[in-house]
Each structure stands twice: as structure tokens, then as C-alpha cells.
Structure 1
Amino acid sequence: MKTIAGLVGLTAITLTLSPAVAHAQDANCYDTTAPLTVEEQRLDDTLVTGGPAVGPSLVKLAGFDGRVTDFTSRLCRQIVPKQAQQFVEREGNALWKAAVARAQSTTPVTHDAYDDRPLYWARLQLSSALRQWKPKFAMAPDDRAKLIQRFDWASRGLSDSAFPSRPGVRRIAVTGFDPFQLTGVNVRRANPAGAAALQLDGREISTPDGKVVLQAAVLPVLWGGFDEGVVEQFYGSALRQKPDAFVTISQGRPGRFDVERWAARWRGGFADNNNVGSFGSVPNAAGWPQPGHEFIETSLPFQKMIDAGTGPFAVNYNRAFCEWVVVGSQQSCRTDNPTPGRVAASGGGGDYLSNESMYRANRLRIGYGATNVLGGHLHTPVLGQPADPAALTDPAFEKQRRDIADQVKALVSVV
């Protein structure tokens, strides 16, 4: 694997997270000159009109600002490593549960319940605090990285992935994604796949074939996070619980859903949320069974999903794939079957992290010999943005996200 955009790109920046952090800084608890990731720096991005920063504004709209204030204050009171580890995992899990509870609230909430962005930006506020925290004990860079990962994974639903024990109820694990391509006015972007995951986590759905219970998580749009094994961690836990199926979900093409036939063992180099690119074969995640298939075919009941008549968007079975004729220079793209012995270049879902989520999850399924588990990928329609570049939301934007997420729920229930 060749990394083509360098390292994550930590840059020194002063970031005001909340009044609690400002107070803690006075107490010498935070070093605001400590470098943050490119992704975390976008917390200071503003609308092109010069309005307030998008991320913190969305966190406040969702009512998560008090949680951020509390976290940044209490972090300063952690005095031993084990206590800090327990604290950050507990708080990450609590943030995830709060986001799910808000998404699935049966009573009206002050801001659109289907908005996935507040969880994303609140997570970045708290990871920024962890990165700039000055603990009262010695902490090596690797230890800080592990602490941030512990928080991050918990805040994505990985610490809350146990299926309830209910005889006769089918089990399905699903993942969505964070927002991505957050440049300029695009910093307002949401991801309907993440919104769908929040709507589905812990749900029990009644279907003509019986009840289905779901566990969900939201994946990072980061090559490094995938290298660390975030996909395997979630789906490995799910596979140990003997699920009936799993569905990786991401945002795809305008105007339609795609059930992808092929996942490819290849990264095409496109930059992630930290402006890092990666090019080459999908690497292994340490500690998991991972056979070396170049392509993995979906085992989802694609025709049943198409015939279910969900709406309002069309559902397509995407047979496309590309393979390298000469690796790195010449591809053959078709809709039949891959050529034995050739190196994969892209699946139906491309060569970015959505394709890789399908590949990694299904590679793990095959590695565990779970051939009775259905597995594959669903691409959602592309979600637009609020029409006014100064607006955080508008009714048309909210309706489109709701329509997409509700149709994901209907399609997953068919699986």
C-alpha cells in the first residue's frame, strides 16, 4: 500500500470548544497550541457568508453542547490512566446513546431528529479536547492515541453492539458513515447513511417474515481508521453473536439506491476527511481472519429488495466492476465476472471507503466461515444541501434525508 497524501496533517491551532474548556484552560488543563487533525480543525470553519461555525452550531441545535461542556470539565479531573480510559469510553458510549435516543425520539425534538451531523461534530469537539488535554500523569503519544481511539469507537456505537436475546427474532448488523468532502460551504454536508444507522440502532422491526432486531454503528471516513480495524471490530463482534445478515451502507449516486454486486480489494487514492489518500490493495487488520480474495460477491437478496417496491427512490442491482489488466495503468471495466488471477481495481461501489467497508466486512464473514450469513452493500441516493449557503438546514433538505433513511429501513427489513 502506498500513501499518496502524506501523514494525517496535524497543525497547531487554537480552538475554543466551550465555556468549560475555556475555564479549564485557565486552570492549565488544555494546551490550545497542541496540533489537531485536519478534520478537527473544521470546527472553526464558518459559512461563506461569515456566519457562526457550522459544527458547534449544529451541536448546540441538537442540545449536545451541555454534554461537551460537561466532558471537557470532567476530563480535567481524571488523575490516573485507568480512570481516564474508563471515563472516555463511558462518555463516548453515552454520546452515541444520546444521539440514537434523539434520532428515535417519539416526542418532537428542537432540531430535526434525522440530522446525523450533531453526533459527528460533537465527537470532533471531544476528540479535540482529548488531543489538547494536559493530564496530571505522564502520557506517551501512543497512549493518547489509544485513548482517543477508545473514545472514538465508543462514540460510533462499537461499545453498544450486543444484540438482545430474543428467540425467533432475526439479527441484522448495519453501518453508515460520517459526512465527508467537507470543504468550503460543503462543511454543511450530512450523510444519509449515518442518519439511517442512527434510526436503526437497537430497533425491532416487524416484517411479513417475522421480527428483525438491528445493531448499528457509524464508520469514519478515514483510511487510518480502517487500517486500525474499526470495520472488523464492529462486524467481528456481530459475527460472534451469529447474525442472520449484515449490510454496509454509504452514500452513492444521485437519485437511486444501488445494491452492489462486487466489492474490490483496492484503494483508489481519493482523499479522506483528513486530506490523506491511500492507493493500493486493501491491507489486513491485525488479529482477524482475512482471506485474500480480490473480489467478493454480495449474498444479499437483491431481487427481493428490488421487488419489495420501497420508495420513493428506484432500487438497482449494480453489476459493474473493474480489474487491472496492467496494475496501475490499464483497467478492464465490465458487468460480467472478474477474470481469475487478475487484481481488483474497483467494485460496483468504486474504490473508496464505501467499497472497502463492504470488502472488509465480507472478507471477515468468509474468514470466519459464516457462509450462512447474508452480507453486502447498499448505496443510498446522494443527499443535497440547504439551498441557502448561509443556512444549516431547510425543509427540502430535511425531507430528502428522511425519505432516504426511511427507505433504508424498509430495504434492510426486506433482507
Structure 2
Amino acid sequence: MTHLRVRIGTLGLAALLAGLAAPPAMAAGSPSAALTVEEERLDKAAPQEILRRSGFDRVAPEFTRALSEARSYAQAEQVVVRHGARLWRHAVDRAQGRGPAGGDLARDDDRPLYWSRLGMTRAVRQWEPEFGLTQARRTKLLASLERTSRGQDGIRYPHGKGVKRILVTGFDPFTLDRDIRISNPSGATALALDGTVIETADGPARIETAVFPVRWQDFADGTVERTLRPHLPRVDLFTTVSQGRVGRFDVERTNGAWRGGFPDNENLSVTGTIPVTEPGSQPQWTSTTLPYKEIVAASTGRFPVYDNTEVTEIPAGGTEPVTRPDGPTPGSTARAGGGGNYLSNEIAYRATLLRDRLGLRGSLPGGHVHTPVLQFGTGNTDPATGTVTDAQFVQNRLDIIAQVRSILTVAAGASSKVTE
């Protein structure tokens, strides 16, 4: 519905004489605006049920109303930043037991954050304010919404000494065309741990987190480096986290500079060398500096934890990929790190390359941890007939979150010196 300014004139005078107040300059939605593949999934039954059963079905409508009242681009920026940060904080609070649950969906669920954010980005994409909005400014609003609603702009550590600082990242759900019910335990872990303090063998440690999209283009645009660069020189440990294999955790020893082309959440496939700044000095491989020996040896939870050293390379002078169980050989070209060649490998590669380029390799423990695949319970594995949640599914996610917390506790307590 279009809301027009009431202008002084015959119509305006009549309205004023009738005692009618002029409505604010609002925006018409443009249903014909091109949506993203992710946004197009939003109206399916499972996402709507997830939003309804968590109380997050109110997020996008409230944001849309606030956005429609913006009378300038500056006001629109304020609305986007405020509501984006509010969404992240609401998701963290819900996951950590603060405030109303909003419904019967388990509090630790990461999916309400994902789907409600898409409702907000869709609103921005379809918004047609009367003051006019260039595509460049719309893109800036969307970028601000992404950063604030993912916790990327909200990483804050207390001042002073005596408390270690840990930075953890997670991911959105993915492979949603295979099963739109999917949750990502790394994203759930980020919500559960953000702002919490753990007690380690080396004293207390404060954890701050952020979540990243499963989209090739965002990574090419520098979202990882932009988020992590201000914080890596100030933290004592970092780990990127993603979902990996069934029934096991992996501490990935080596990360490769190769994109393998598996489709992202926009169903885009990209193959080639990971694009970074200063490509002339780009290495084929980066390595973890997490204390992997101590992590693997510790009893951290229900799932076994492995030091994964396998990579896929093209050997120096060769032309065909070869799998190496013990890591890359000198002069080889990367085709897959220990964590594969998808965005989980890429975030690990980018974060550890940034660590090295900042001159922190010898002093900052950091790397990548793959969690087990989050599985639905027995009898609920078919997305065509299954429900959006079940008791075993929730317990699996809680167990993974608890074990990531234990792994961080071990790593922080053992990281007084960096593992090479």
C-alpha cells in the first residue's frame, strides 16, 4: 500500500478542515523486486513454523513498520543498525535463557535468527521510499543489516588484564534445498557462547562470537577479514567453527587456497583459487596454531575428536590431484584442506592467513574446528514427512555446543605457547 504526503492545496486544506492529520512519508513494498534464492525459501512451511514457534515471526513485520517510517536515508540507516543489533541480541538472549522463549521451539535453536534475518533483508530489498533510494545505498543498508544481525559489529571485550579473550565464529544453516529444516550447530554454538566466561587451567576467558553467511561472494568481498582484523591482535585464541562429518569432531591441521565449487546458499558454484588481497604473496597452505595435541587427548564430550592432517594436492610438477594423509608436500598446489574446499575451509584459510599477515603466527593460537553433523532423530530423517524438531535432534545440538565449550576450555588452558 502506498502512503502519500498530504500537500497543502485543495485536498490538503479539506483534510485539515476535517481534522485529519497528514500521514507520515512511508514506503511502498515492491513485490516485484527481485529476491535472492535464500529469501525465496522463506515462505515455505518449515521456516514459517520455526519463526512462529520461537516468537521470531514478529521480527520482520516490526522492522518493516519501522523502516516505512524513515523519512531520509540517515533515518533508514539508524533503523537498520538498531534492528539488526536487536535481532542478534534477542537471539543470543533466547539461546542463553534470558527473556521469554516466545514459543515451544528449543532455546538453543539457531534457525530463528537465520530465517528472521532473511525476512528483514527481503523488506529492505523491496522497500521503495518516497525520498528515493539508489541501488548503492540499498546495498549499503543490506550490508549494515548483515553485519549487525550477525554479531560482527558487536564484538566487545572487557578492559583490563586477568581475563583471556577468545573469538569464535559460526555459520548459517546450509544445503537447505536438500532439507529446509536444517540447523547448523556452529551457529547455535555462537549464540550459546557469545559474551560468556569459561574457567580454564590458565584462568577465566571471555568468549565473543559472530556468524557468517554461506555465500561465496560475501567471502570474496572480504567479510571475514573485515570482521576479524580489528580483534586478532587483541585476542588470546580464536577458532572458526563449522559443521563437518557424522559422529566426530576434527581439528583441521591444514587449510588450502582452493574453492571446490559446491553450491552455496544462493545455489552459486565457484571454483578456483581463494581470492585475497596481495595474491602475489598468497600461500597455497596455512596451518592451525591451536593446541591440537592437548585438545585431542582431553575428554571433552560425547564425540571423538581427531587431529585431521589429510589434504588433497597437486604435487609439484604434477597435473592430477592426490590425497595425502599426512599433509601437503613441498611446492604442491592446494585442492582441498583438511576441512575440504568449501566455505568452512575458506574461513579457516582466510582467518589463519590474516593471523600470519598480521605477524601473529608465533603468538596467537588459532585454527578451525569441525563439529559433527547435526542429525535429526530416528524416524524424523525424511524432510518430506519429518517435523522441524525432535528430542534427539535437540539433544544432539546441546551435546555439540557443550563439547565446543569444553574444547575451548582445553585450548585456552593449554595455549600459553603456540603449537607449531
TM-score range, shorter chain: 0.7 to 0.9
When the two chains are superposed, the root-mean-square deviation of aligned CA atoms in Å is: 2.0
Partner of 1:351: 341
Offset, 1:191: 0.4
Q: How far is 1:227 from its partner?
A: 1.3
| CA contact 1:196–1:408 (8 Å) conserved in 2 | yes
Give the aligned partner of residue 157 of structure 1: 151
Go from structure 1 to structure 2 and tell me whether the alpha carbon gap of 1:151 and 1:327 turns closer, same or farther (over 3 Å shift).
farther
Task: Compute the displacement of 1:320 (Å).
Answer: 0.3
Whole-Å separation in 2 of the counterparts to 1:72 and 1:225: 24
**Cα separation, 1, equivalents of 2:342 and 2:86:** 30
Q: Does 1:190 align with 2:180?
A: no
String of CA shifts for 1:13-57, please: whole Å, max 9, x gaps. Answer: xxxxxxxxxxx9xx7620011110001100122xxxxxxx21122
Q: Find the aligned partners of 1:318 and 1:158 in 2 and give their Cα distance.
A: 29
The residue number in structure 2 matching 1:100 is 92
2:48 aligned with 1:56, yes or no? yes
| 8 Å contact from structure 1 (residues 290, 363) kept in 2 | no
Distance in 2 (CA, whole Å) between partners of 1:224 and 1:392 is 29
Code of the residue aligned with 1:363 in structure 2: it is L
Normalised by the length of structure 1, the TM-score is 0.87
1:36 aligned counterpart, secondary structure: coil
In structure 1, the residue corresponding to 2:29 is in which secondary structure? coil
Match of 1:232 in 2: 225
Q: Displacement of 1:183 after TM fit?
A: 1.1
Of the three residues 119, 122, 141, the one matched with 1:125 is: 119
Q: 1:289, 1:367 within 8 Å by CA — same for their partners in 2?
A: no
For residues 314 and 107 of structure 1, what CA distance do their matches in structure 2 show? 34
- Paired residues for 1:268-307 under 5 Å: 268-284=260-276, 291-307=281-297
Show the counterpart of 1:379.
370
CA contact (8 A) 1:40 1:124 kept: yes
- Residues 42-121 of structure 1: matches in 2 within 5 Å? 42-45=41-44, 53-105=45-97, 109=101, 110=103, 111-121=105-115
Structure 2 counterpart of 1:365, one-letter code: R
Higher relative contact order (CA 8 A, sep 6+): 1
Consecutive unaligned residues of structure 1, counting only runs of 5 or more, are 1-23, 46-52
The 3-state SS of whatever aligns with 1:75 is helix
Q: For the Cα contact (< 8 Å) 1:250–1:380, is it kept in 2?
A: yes
SS in 2 for 1:188: coil
Q: What's the CA shift for 1:106?
A: 5.5
- Structure 1 residues 140 and 211: CA distance shift in structure 2, 3 A: same
Closer, same or farther: CA 100–328 of 1 in aligned 2, 3 Å = farther
Amino acid aligned to 2:367: G
Which string of whole-angstrom CA distances, capped at 9 and with x for unpartnered residues, describes residues 267-317 of structure 1? Answer: 0011000000110000015xx999511101110001111122011000000
Alpha carbons 1:284, 1:290 under 8 Å: kept: no
**Matches of 2:346 and 2:273 in 1, distance apart?**
10
105 and 332 in structure 1: CA distance in 2 versus 1, 3 angstrom threshold: same
* Aligned residues of 1:227 and 1:284 also touching (Cα < 8 A): yes
Secondary structure at the aligned position of 2:334 is classed as: strand
The CA deviation string for residues 40-99 of structure 1, in whole angstroms up to 9 with x for no partner, is 100122xxxxxxx21122122111222222111111111211221122122111100110
Check the 8 A contact 1:289/1:368 in 2, yes or no: no
Once the 2 structures are TM-superposed, how far is the Cα of residue 340 of structure 1 from its aligned partner?
2.8
| Partner Cα distance (1:132, 1:373) in 2 | 44
Alpha-carbon displacement from aligned partner over 1:389-408 (angstroms, at most 9, x marks no partner): 34111101100011111101
Contact 1:161-1:234 within 8 A present in 2 as well: no
Q: In the alignment, what sits opposite 1:41?
A: 40
1:324 to 314, 338, 343: 314
Mapped contact 2:27–2:130 kept (Cα < 8 A): no
Matching residue of 1:13: none
Tell whether the 8 Å contact from 1:349 to 1:379 is kept in structure 2 after alignment.
Answer: yes
What is the number of equivalent residue pairs in this alignment? Answer: 379
1:180 to 170, 174, 179: 174
Unpaired runs of 5+ in structure 2? Answer: 1-22, 412-420
1:253-272 equivalent positions in 2, closer than 5 A: 253-272=245-264
Q: Does the 8 Å contact 1:289/1:364 carry over to 2?
A: no
Q: 1:365 aligns with which of 349, 352, 355?
A: 355
Question: Which residue is 1:396 aligned to?
Answer: 392
Q: CA deviation at 1:328?
A: 11
Distance across 2 between alignment mates of 1:289 and 1:305: 33
- Structure 2: distance between partners of 1:256 and 1:290: 37
Q: Which amino acid in 1 is paired with 2:143?
A: Q
Give the direction of change, closer, same or farther, for the CA distance of 1:216–1:75 in structure 2 (3 Å limit). same
1:411 aligns with 2:407: yes
Bigger shift: residues 311-320 or 75-84? 75-84
Larger radius of gyration: 2
| Matched AA of 1:205 | I
Normalising by structure 2, we get a TM-score of 0.86
Cα 1:327–1:87, aligned 2, differ >3 Å: closer, same or farther? farther
SS of equivalent residue, structure 1 residue 218: strand
Distance 1:290 1:96, change over 3 A: farther
Asked whether the equivalents of residues 274 and 346 of structure 2 are also in contact (C-alpha less than 8 Å), the reply is: yes
Percent of residue pairs bearing the same amino acid type: 43
Residue 276 of structure 1 aligns to a residue in which SS? coil
